[in-house]
Amino acid sequence: MLAWTIYISFIGVLVLMLLPKGNAALARSVALVFALLGLGIGIAAFTQFKAGEILAVADTSWVPSLGIHYHLAADGISLTLVLLTGLAAVAGILFSWNIEHRAKEFFAFYLALIGGVYGVFLSFDLFLLFVFYEIAIVPKYFIIAIWGSTRREYGAMKLALYSFIGSAMVLVGLIAAYVVSGAHSFDVTELAKYPFPHNFQMWAFPLVFIGFAILAGMWPFHTWAPTGHVAAPTAASMLLAGVVMKLGAYGCLRVAMTLFPDGLAAWKNFFAILAIIGILYGAMVALVQKDFKFVIGYSSVSHMGFVLLGLMTLNAIGLSGAVLQMFSHGIIAGLLFAVVGRMVYDRTHTRDLDILQTMGLSKAMPFAAVTFVIASMASMGLPGFSGFAAEFQVIVGAWKAFPTLAVLTGVGILIGVAYTLRVMQKAFFGETDEKEAHAHEPMPPISPQEKLGAVLLIGVSLLIGLFPRILLDIIVPSFDSSLFDWLRRLS
């Protein structure tokens, strides 16, 4: 049944392509229906999911001569990310309700991206995973280049090339692993059993890991992320930060770490240091940005650093923290971008913090201000929100694995509090110049769709923050499956 998350998205693309031109309202509604269907399927699968199992979804031979299978399956990790994708997709559409320009194409590209993302999370055949991974690249380019803002063509091209170079590295590693194993299979469960030669793992692991980590925004390959986020239209930034960056982290876990544990053991300190640098660097750069959206963009780099650090801890608590952080950051970053891009920028047409400061936005749009305050609290990792549950676990895991680095992580969180408070204060609670404030035209009120989207995302973040077990109960048992034999061996 889960496979229908993928199919329903691509059916949505076809339906949108066949819609009459120029009817934006119809296109939006159709897209929303298909996104809701995808989310519904995800939730239905979630309720029936038994913790610890690997849910078989589909498995048929695709290219027999190469041993490629159309193999879809899901464990707790995949399912968590499928849920995230569904939520982000629905929220993204709610926050792009004001798209009028070539709306039908916009939502067609949007659903194609979503379909590719679902596919990546559900693929257990690595060839198939790669196919979906690349399917997700192209729509991103067009969404940003056509509907984006600041330096959109540059941002779009940079994003596309970074992604493609990353996937090229992955491709080389995958083919090499396939040939070296001689298993005549791309199935991750098959390949995970094969003990690759040590020398091979030593170069194959960093190749594939970096290939995926580029998309996860790992420092120093993160530079596509801020420019891409800033250039993208709201829904696309939400998806980029919310889901696409998770593709990279998921690939690191599911492919690079699963296939090449020896390489992982040798390289883990190196990548842990890169992750920490990412956390600190992202946070510090976010501290000095003048553009509202750049702040959120760099904060994403910082928060994704937690995911990568969690992966490198190689203990169950760190890993489950990383997966939970993927989910949590997907929701929170989506919310932050929604406030910046849709609620603020689409009404004020500026993202310059110095200008926003003079507008007194907390009075002009209280709903946006409240949403942003809540989102900021979640982002800073206040207890009660999902960010806390996730980052806390990552730090505990890191404390076990690299005690010194864990201290630096704490510093990263502190800087995170600083930039979040700074941007909150500047954007919403600046000194209002009364004359200045009235000089602006009255802004259109926050639409019901925006309110709905904001409530949805805040609600999910709170729910997971208060009851993290909802997700942890399916995430943690996943590490006991045969796919994670390497974890027990290494720890």
Per the CB < 8 A criterion, the answer to whether 245 and 237 are in contact is: no
User: Of these, 121, 178, 402, 419, which contacts other proteins (CB under 8 A)?
Assistant: 178
> In the complex, what is the shortest distance from the CB of residue 81 to other proteins, in angstroms, rounded to a whole number?
20
168 binds other proteins (CB under 8 A): yes
CB of 474 to other proteins, least distance (A): 30
The answer to whether 209 contacts other proteins (rule: CB under 8 A) is: no
Q: Please report the DSSP string for 429-478 in residue order.
A: S----HHHHHHSPPPPPPPHHHHHHHHHHHHHHHHHHH-THHHHHHHHHH
Nearest to 362 by CA among 430, 414, 284: 430
Closer of 142 and 221 to other proteins (Cβ): 142
Per the CB < 8 A criterion, the answer to whether 487 and 478 are in contact is no
Nearest distance from residue 91's CB to other proteins, in Å? 26
Q: Which of 1, 56, 66, 455 binds other proteins (CB under 8 A)?
A: 66
Q: Judged by CB under 8 A, does residue 160 bind other proteins? A: yes
Q: Helix 103-122 crosses helix 3-18 at what angle (to 10 degrees)? A: 160
d(CA 391, CA 311): 12
Residue 171 lies near other proteins (rule: CB under 8 A)? yes
Q: Which is nearer to other proteins, 12 or 330 (CB)?
A: 12
Residue with tokens 């939006």: 28
The conformation of residue 49, written as its DSSP 8-state character, comes to P
Least Cβ distance, residue 2 to other proteins (angstroms): 20
In the complex, what is the shortest distance from the CB of residue 126 to other proteins, in angstroms, rounded to a whole number? 12
128 conformational bin, left if phi > 0, alpha if psi -120 to 50, beta if neither: alpha
Task: Give the total of residues touching other proteins (CB under 8 A).
Answer: 33
- Region label for 21, one of left (φ > 0), alpha (ψ between -120 and 50) or beta (otherwise): beta
Nearest-angstrom CA–CA distance, 153 and 211 = 23
Question: Of 14, 25, 44, 175, which lies in the binding site for other proteins, with binding defined by CB under 8 A?
Answer: 175
- Interaction between residue 60 and other proteins (CB under 8 A): no
Task: Report if residue 19 touches other proteins, rule: CB under 8 A.
Answer: no
Query: How does DSSP classify residue 402?
Result: -
Question: Residue 268 Cβ, how far from other proteins at the closest point, in Å?
Answer: 25
Residue found under tokens 């779009």 = 156
CB of 176 to other proteins, least distance (A): 6
**To the nearest whole angstrom, how small is the minimum distance from the Cβ of residue 26 to other proteins?**
17
Using alpha carbons only, give the angle 391, 308, 52 rounded to the nearest 5 degrees: 75
Could you give the CA distance from residue 262 to residue 256 in angstroms, rounded to a whole number?
Answer: 11
Residues numbered 87-146 forming contacts with other proteins, rule: CB under 8 A: 105, 127, 130-131, 134-135, 137-138, 141-142, 145-146
Identify which range of 60-68, 271-279, 300-308, 408-416 contacts other proteins by CB under 8 A. 60-68
4 vs 130, beta carbon nearer other proteins: 130
Rule CB under 8 A: which residues touch other proteins? Answer: 62-66, 105, 127, 130-131, 134-135, 137-138, 141-142, 145-146, 153, 157, 160-161, 164-165, 168-169, 171-172, 175-176, 178-180, 182
